[in-house]
Amino acid sequence: MEMDWKTNMAELGGAFMVALLVLGEMGDDGNMLMAGLLLAVTMAAMAGAHILPMFTWISAMTGDLQDTDAWISNGMRLVFQLVGACLAALLMAEGGDVAANADISTWGFELWGPDAAEGADANNMDGAVMMLAGGALIGAIASRCDGWMTAFAVVALAGSLGAGVDGASMMAGEMLGSGDIVAGLSHWVVDGVVIGLGAMLGGMLDDQL
């Protein structure tokens, strides 16, 4: 399979823009309208790129699961998203905006990490269900609406989507700092798979309606 450099560089650029421009607006007391606008601008500027890990996982889980080339292509998208987020994190650290090992929030529920609270099984289940539901909604919106509309839906559902939204930036923070890469990786992969499953189940339900 030949490397699609154009697509991969679009993923890198999109992830860089999201980490640099969008995620700060989506933090505590952030301007959610501005975050939605910035995400819509990024998605329009990098048309054809997934940009967010959740869209890559949705693509993987709702496509032909036996298509090896598709899995490789989606895997490369995830890698280049991570590279873009790392470049943004390094730039922000150099500028003094954030520390290289900053704890980048996943808006998650500490689902599967080793630091999950005692008795967190109920929270784990609730979080997984929310991600499934969020994945189904985003999958349906993305298949029916323009990218800018999907961007606002992502911002609105960010609290339910865990590392599906900021997984690349989260992993960049773990890799460049002294964080727990294994715990971060579990969020990056598992959250994405759950969201992708939600989109797949949503698509199956939609076919029956």
Amino acid in position 53 = P
Q: Please tell me the predicted confidence (pLDDT) of residue 119.
A: 46
Q: Cβ–Cβ contacts within 10 Å for residue 79, how many?
A: 14
Amino acid in position 100 = A
Residue in 96, 67, 100 with CA at minimum distance from that of residue 175: 100
User: What is the percentage of the chain residues whose pLDDT exceeds 70?
Assistant: 79
Across the chain, what does the average pLDDT equal?
78
Which residues have CB under 8 Å from 176's CB, separation 6+?
86, 89, 90, 93, 100, 101
Using alpha carbons, list the distances in angstroms from residue 127 to 104, 111, 120, 140.
Answer: 19, 7, 10, 20
46-81 tens-digit pLDDT = 888 999 999 999 999 999 999 999 999 999 999 999
Q: Cβ–Cβ contacts within 10 Å for residue 48, how many?
A: 11
Domain 5-208 matching CATH 3.40.50.620: the answer reads no
The domain segmentation of the chain, as residue ranges, is: 5-208
The structure tokens 């601008």 sit at 41
Does the pLDDT at position 106 exceed 50?
A: no
pTM: 0.71
Which is higher by pLDDT, 116 or 94? 94
162-200 tens-digit pLDDT = 777 777 887 887 788 766 777 777 778 888 888 899 888
